[in-house]
A and B are shown apart, each in its own frame.
Chain A
Amino acid sequence: MAELKKWHELPIAGLIVEPGTARKYRTGDWRVRRPVYDRSKCIDCMFCWFYCPDQAIIQEKGVMKGIDYFYCKGCGVCANVCPKSAIEMRPETEFVGKED
């Protein structure tokens, strides 16, 4: 979790005083189940990329490259829409102490 500021270090009223700060927000903290991607099954159909509500699917020139766990909330939409079952939702507890 990011370093939390003290009450006297914050702008008043809960205002967000610069644009684009959502980029800094680690919504990955919310995740209970983690999508795990199997490259060998993937056909780069990009369904997961289209459906992901958090733009957490990383792709380069139409090629699926993996999942951005900084933003992925673990909703499971990607695993659900994948026609090749290339994404599996696994309990986050299996990854405790491991790097993203």
Chain B
Amino acid sequence: MAAKNVMAITGAEAAAYAMKQIEPDVVAAYPITPQTPIVEYFAKYVADGEVRTEMIPVESEHSAMSAVVGAAAAGARAMTATSSQGLALMSEIVYIASSLRLPIVMGLVNRALSAPINIHCDHSDAMMVRDSGWIQLFCEDAQEVYDLTILAVRLAEHEDVRLPVLVNQDGFIISHGVEPVEVLPDDVVKKFVGELKPVYPLLDTDHPVTYGPLDLYDYYFEHKRQQIEAMKHAYRVFPQIAEEFYEISGRKYNFVEPYRLEDAEYVMVALGSTNGTIKDVVDEMRSEGKKVGLLKIWMFRPFPKPEIQRYLTARKAVVVLDRAASFGAEAPLYEAVKSALYEAAARPVMGSFVYGLGGRDLKPEHVRYAFERAIALDLVADKEEYLGLRD
């Protein structure tokens, strides 16, 4: 392997740089804070002639997703990126992209949904489209943004999957924070993603197809069942693609990342950049002899239930951190983890903590507090609590 090429870049630039190396046929995007620098960097690559991508500066996010849906249906490799309100505006077409089984990759720079208006990070945007049929990956840092954006292309386009993928990165925290990112040579990425093999492309006029015809009670259900199956295939295929990515990069991905879990009795579960904070606190508490550990979730949809069961069964306590609320129900990640453990032979004590809404900082002392509550077995499975909230 050639000498490592490490760049000091933000998560946004990492996403854009990955897109440059992927060189999709079409990118249609509309800038929105904090996704804006992805669009800026990529537009510059196009303007400078570094990519041959057709970039469409659309008039709204609804149009951005519509354009990539059209491009993908035509047989192009198509990508976009957005945040928060942008995702909300495109949500009608977000559902259509997955239902039409189009392998679009979209960077989602997580930002709180209005109202009141806020530009900072939480996961309410990602959770809004939780059940939209998109595969969802969550990144801890800029390196993971770069890697998972490249990996997502292969996952989306796999013949048994054919589903769009959201690559989540925490707004500002990852998107605007400069970190060292090890990038691969252009030709290695090109070879890894390969050529898109279009399925039923509209531009193949010798084999005319109809996209999006009326589908009533006699067949709609069957097509939804196919989507459910495609998600199962995504679960099956992801480790194979992750293994191939490991071979070119030396970086290993999976559904989840266990951190100091071997003998851990008290385990925290979280999505996104917060995992970095938790790892520091785990190291600190380990040095104090406390048996704490972390289960980081890389893949949120399809939800890796077998891994949740394998890693969390028979732990003394599990604390789940959610950066989004589900009003009137349990927080999304907590609900999924708790549900997965229903069938566990030995269920841990469980606790749910919502944190960080609208960009509220999660400090190491908050994480430590949640761990200490777990160690004291002072958790109530049915009670949602809040970290960093004034009450």
A residues lining the B interface (CB < 8 Å)? 4-8, 10-19
Contact = CB atoms under 8 A, between A and B. Distances in A.
A14 B219 contact: yes
B218 interface: yes
A22 B190 CA distance: 42
Contacts of B213: 14, 16
B222 A12 contact: no
B162 to A, nearest CB: 6
Contacts of A17: 200, 207, 209
B100 to A, nearest CB: 5
A14 B230 CA distance: 14
Interface residues of B, number: 24
Contact of B212 (A7, A8, A14): A14
A7 B225 contact: yes
Nearest to A5: B222
Contact of B223 (A4, A10, A19): A10
Among A10, A13, A15, A16, residue most surrounded by chain B Cβ atoms (within 10 Å): A13
A8 B226 CA distance: 7
Nearest to B218: A4
Interface string B206-229: 011111110100111111011001
Given A4-B218, A15-B211, 7 more contacts: A7-B229, A8-B226, A12-B199, A13-B99, A13-B223, A14-B99, A17-B209
B223 to A, nearest CB: 5
A15 to B, nearest CB: 5
Contacts of B223: 7, 10, 12-14
Contacts of B99: 13-14
A13 B101 contact: yes
Contact of B222 (A7, A15, A16, A19): A7
B162 A15 contact: no
Interface in B184-204: 199-200
A12 to B, nearest CB: 5
A13 B222 contact: no
Contact of B100 (A4, A5, A10, A13): A13
A5 B219 CA distance: 8
9 contacts: A5-B222, A7-B221, A7-B222, A7-B225, A8-B226, A10-B219, A15-B211, A16-B209, A19-B208
A16 B211 CA distance: 7
Nearest to A20: B208
Nearest to B212: A14
B32 to A, nearest CB: 28
A16 B210 CA distance: 5
A35 B71 CA distance: 46
A8 B220 CA distance: 13
Contacts of A11: 200
Among A5, A15, A17, residue most surrounded by chain B Cβ atoms (within 10 Å): A15
Contacts of A13: 99-101, 211, 223, 226
A28 to B, nearest CB: 15
A7 B209 contact: no
A15 B212 CA distance: 7
A12 B229 CA distance: 11
A63 to B, nearest CB: 35
Contacts of B209: 15-18
Contacts of B162: 12
Nearest to A2: B218
Given A4-B219, A15-B200, A17-B200, A10 B226 contact: yes
B101 A12 contact: yes
Top 4 nearest A-B pairs (CB, nearest first) are: A7-B222, A16-B210, A7-B225, A13-B101
A51 B222 CA distance: 36
A60 B221 CA distance: 42
Nearest to B215: A14
B346 to A, nearest CB: 37
Contacts of A4: 218-219
A51 to B, nearest CB: 24
Nearest to B230: A12
B218 A12 contact: no
Contacts of B212: 14
Contact of A15 (B210, B220, B225): B210
